[in-house]
A = this chain, B = another copy of it.
Amino acid sequence: MNSLAEENYLKAMLSLSNDKGEVNVNELSKRLEIKMPTVTSMMKKLSAKKLVYYQSYKPLRLTEKGRKEAAFIIRKHRLTEMFLVEKMGFGWEEVHSIAEQVEHIQSAEFFEKMDKLLGYPKLDPHGSPIPDKNGKMVWKQYRKLSECEADEVVKLSAVINTSKDFLKFLNSRHLSLGMKLKVKFIEQFDQTMLVSYGKYDKEALSHIVCERLLVEKV
């Protein structure tokens, strides 16, 4: 059994690891808001538990065991977010911090029940994939809205940032998943996009925002 702290390291490692499955101590340190020496010593501990490959000054990698345990925590997190939205009536901007706590509950049946009640969902309320019971998780091939060109029409399918503030901002602009967006104009100067969707004809969305919106072909 892993401690709460250990679970948080594993989860952060999986969500930060690149295509090679590598993470740096520094990145982990920033994400977890824990100083680097503490991260190093935890890596040695997780290495002793065969959850992480650790070699001094080399990038960190999860072992297969570590990756599975991390995926299972993310599974619990995302199932919880879905449950909170679908079964308990929360808004998508409210669920992250609750799920952050619920994900550590030790009870396979609890999450099995959620999964079943939700009808075995594949995506969470922010469009992120829910890992399956074997720890398998596949991201669809989304593009960032910021990478689209003028006149393109796309569907908003996921958001990168799940912070309350960002999601409240999207709510205030009546942006939600599944919506069709049309890029009307891109300001060369600062990459601001003018987008039409729903009742909005030329809504200005900053580059910062457009980089966090994942879209796919309609």
Which A residues are closer than 8 A to B by beta carbons? 84, 87-90, 94, 97-98, 101-102, 104-107, 109-110, 113-114, 117
Contacts and interface: CB of A to CB of B under 8 A. Distances in A.
Contact of A113 (B90, B97, B113): B90
3 A-B pairs with least C-beta separation: A88-B113, A101-B105, A98-B107
Given A89-B113, A97-B107, A98-B107, 4 more contacts: A87-B87, A88-B113, A90-B109, A98-B105
Q: Which of A84, A87, A106, A113 has the most CB of B within 10 A?
A: A113
Contacts of A101: 104-107
Contacts of A94: 109
Nearest to A117: B88
11 contacts: A84-B110, A88-B110, A89-B117, A90-B113, A98-B109, A101-B104, A101-B105, A101-B106, A101-B107, A102-B102, A102-B105
Contacts of A104: 101
Contacts of A107: 97-98, 101
A109 B106 CA distance: 22
Nearest to A105: B101
A188 to B, nearest CB: 44
A100 to B, nearest CB: 10
